[in-house]
Amino acid sequence: MIKDVLVIGQGICGTFLTWWLEQKGLSFVVIDQDRPSTASRSAAGLINPVTGRRIVKTWMIDELLSFAEETYASIGGALQLSCLKPARVIDFFPTAQMRLAFLKRLEEDPQYLELPADEYDWSSLFHYELGYGMVTHCYLADLPGLLPAWRQCLIQQNVLRPSSFAPGSLVVNKDNVQYEDITARHIIFCDGIESFHSPYFSRLPFAPNKGEALILDIPDWPSAPAVGSLTPIGPSPTPVIPIFKKGMTLAPWKDGLFWVGSSYEWSFTNPDPTETFRQRTEAFLKDWLKPSFRILDHIASVRPATLERRPFVGFHPQHPAVGILNGMGTKGCSLAPYFAHQLVEHMVNGKPIRPDADVRRFTKILSR
Ligand SMILES: Cc1cc2nc3c(=O)[nH]c(=O)nc-3n(C[C@H](O)[C@H](O)[C@H](O)COP(=O)(O)OP(=O)(O)OC[C@H]3O[C@@H](n4cnc5c(N)ncnc54)[C@H](O)[C@@H]3O)c2cc1C
C-alpha cells in the first residue's frame, strides 16, 4: 500500500491532521489503538480566550478563535454534527483579590470580559458570595461526539487501523518510510504522550502535566434545549452555553452529564485517578453546588504539555520523512485545528510553519 502520509494517533491532533490531509487531496492511513484514557478523551473541550490569575489573553487567540469556528463548522458539516457551541464562562470570584483582578482587567481591556446585570442570578444553583464576571467568546468543543464520528468515517473509508503502532517495525529512509505493508512519503506522529519516548522526538522539552476530572449526574438541574441540558443565555438563535468556574470548572458533558475538573500536576507517579482528587473535589462540590449530584465516573490523563507552552509542529531536521504534531498542552481544542492546517500547507505548498511552533527551532537538540 502506497500513501502520502502514515499518521500515528487519532486524538484531537490526528483528527484535524487527517481532516486537512483529506481536504488537500493527500492520501493517508491512520494507526490508532483507541486507548480509553487519552488526553483528548478526558478533555472538557473548552476554548477560553483568557487565561491565568491575571486573566491575560491566550496566545494567538484572535486568530485561533475564528479559525476554530470555521474548521469545526466544516468537519461538523461533513459529519452532520454540531461540534462547536458558543459558550460563556460564568467566573465566580473565589477571593476578593480575584474579583479586583477581574475588574482591573475589564477596565484596561474589555475584550472578552463582561459584568452581568445581576451578579446573583445563579444563586438558585450555586453558593457564592463575591459575585461573578463573564468571559465571552468562549466555545465548547463536543469531543465525545466528534472523535468517534470522525473515527467511524475513517473506518468506512478503510483508512484507519485500530492497532498498536510498533516503533521497532518502522524503517525510515530519506524520502519515505516503510511500516508493515505501508510505504509512505511521510510518517507524522500525533501520538500524544507516547512521543515522550519516541526514538525521534524524545529530546524535545515536553513537560507532562496530569489532569483529573469527575463525571456527574445532577438530576435536578433545570432542563433546557441547549446541549447538556444547561440553560441557554440570551435570545440568540444559537444558545450560548454557560460554563461555570470557581477554581474548578463545571461544563456539560455527553448524555446530559457534567464534567468537573481539573487538576494540573507536574509531579506524579502514574497517570491513574487518585482518591485525593476525588475526595477534595467532592467536598468542594458539596460547598458550591446547591442541587444534589452523583459521581458516575472519575477520569485522569496526562496532557502533552511543553516547557515553553508552545506546540511541536513539523519535520525532523535529520529525518525529513518523519513529522510531529504534538505539544498542545492545555489548549488542544484551539491549537490542533490551526497547526494541523499549517503542517499540511507546509507539505502541499511549502508554506512556512510559525517559527515559534516549528520543531526545527530544536534542530541542535534533535541533531545530537
Ligand atoms: C483533564 C484534562 C482536561 C482538558 N481539558 C481541555 C479543554 O477543556 N480544552 C482544551 O483545549 N484542552 C484540554 N485538555 C488538553 C487536551 O486534551 C490535549 O491538548 C489534547 O487532547 C492532546 O491531543 P493529542 O491528539 O495530541 O493527544 P491524545 O489525545 O493523547 O491522542 C493520541 C492518540 O494516539 C494514540 N496512540 C498513542 N500511541 C499509540 C500507538 N503506539 N499506537 C497506536 N495509537 C497510539 C492514542 O490512542 C490516542 O488516540 C485537557 C486535558 C486533560 C487531561
Q: Is the pLDDT of residue 225 over 70?
A: no
Average pLDDT over residues 133-155: 97
CATH of 86-138+209-303, one of 2.40.40.20, 3.30.9.10, 3.40.50.300, 3.40.640.10: 3.30.9.10
- Measured from the Cβ of residue 109, the count of other Cβ atoms closer than 10 Å reads 12
Q: Binning pLDDT at 50, 70 and 90, where does residue 230 land?
A: very low
Helix boundaries (H) for 211-306: 275-288
Which amino acid residue places its CA nearest to atom 27 of ligand 1?
Answer: 192
Which of 232, 263, 269, 266 lies closest to 249 in space, CA to CA?
Answer: 263
Q: Quote the pLDDT of residue 52.
A: 87
Question: Quick check: 226 pLDDT over 90?
Answer: no
Q: Do domains 2-41+145-206+307-366 and 86-138+209-303 have the same CATH topology?
A: no
Query: pLDDT per residue over 83-125, tens digit each?
Result: 999 999 999 999 999 999 999 999 999 999 999 999 999 999 9
Listed in sequence order, the DSSP H helices in the chain are 12-23, 39-42, 61-79, 96-108, 143-156, 275-288, 332-349, 363-366
Superfamily of domain 2-41+145-206+307-366: FAD/NAD(P)-binding domain (3.50.50.60)
317/121 Cα distance (integer angstroms)? 56
> What pLDDT is attached to residue 1?
95
User: What is the pLDDT, as a whole number, of residue 228?
Assistant: 34
CB distance 340 to ligand 1 below 6 Å: no
At 243 the pLDDT is 97
Q: Is the CB of 303 under 6 A from ligand 1?
A: yes
Which protein residue has the closest C-alpha to ligand 1 atom 5?
A: 43
Question: How many whole angstroms separate alpha carbon 299 and alpha carbon 73?
Answer: 28
Residue type, 213: A
User: What's 295's DSSP letter?
Assistant: E
Classify residue 23 by burial, with Cβ atoms within 10 Å: 0-12, 13-18, 19+: middle
- What residues contact 134, with CB distance under 8 A and at least 6 apart? 88, 89, 90, 91, 113, 114, 115, 116
The label of the residue with cell 494567538 reads: 60
The grid cell for 255 is 448524555
Nearest CA to ligand 1 atom 39: 191
pLDDT in tens, 236-280: 557 899 999 999 999 999 999 999 999 999 999 999 999 999 999
pLDDT tens digits for range 302-311? 999 999 999 9
- What is the three-class DSSP state of 109? coil
- Phi and psi torsions of 105, nearest 5°: -65, -35
Name the residue with the closest Cα to ligand 1, atom 4.
43
Peptide bond into 164 cis (omega under 30): no
- Ligand 1 centre distance from Cα of residue 215 (Å): 18
Does residue 142 line the site of ligand 1, with CB under 6 A? no
Give residue-wise pLDDT tens across range 156-210.
Answer: 999 999 999 999 999 999 999 999 999 999 999 999 999 999 999 999 999 999 9
| Residue 227 clears pLDDT 60, i.e. is over it | no
Tell me what the pLDDT averaged over the chain comes to: 94
Through-space distance between the first and last CA atoms of the chain, rounded to whole angstroms = 33
Instruction: Read off the DSSP letter of residue 239.
Output: P
**Spatial CA neighbour of 92 closest among 82, 102, 79:** 102
**What's the pLDDT at 368?**
85
Residue 300 beta carbon below 6 angstroms from any ligand 1 atom? no
- In Å, how far from its chain's centre is CA 45? 6
Residue 229 has pLDDT above 90, yes or no: no
pLDDT band at 224 (very low <50, low <70, confident <90, very high): low
**Residue 109 phi/psi, 5° resolution?**
-155, 100
pLDDT at 239: 83
Q: Where along the chain do its domains lie?
A: 2-41+145-206+307-366, 86-138+209-303
**Residue 215: pLDDT over 70:** yes
Tell me the per-residue pLDDT of 45-84, one tens digit each, with 9 for 90 and over: 999 999 988 899 999 999 999 999 999 999 999 999 999 9
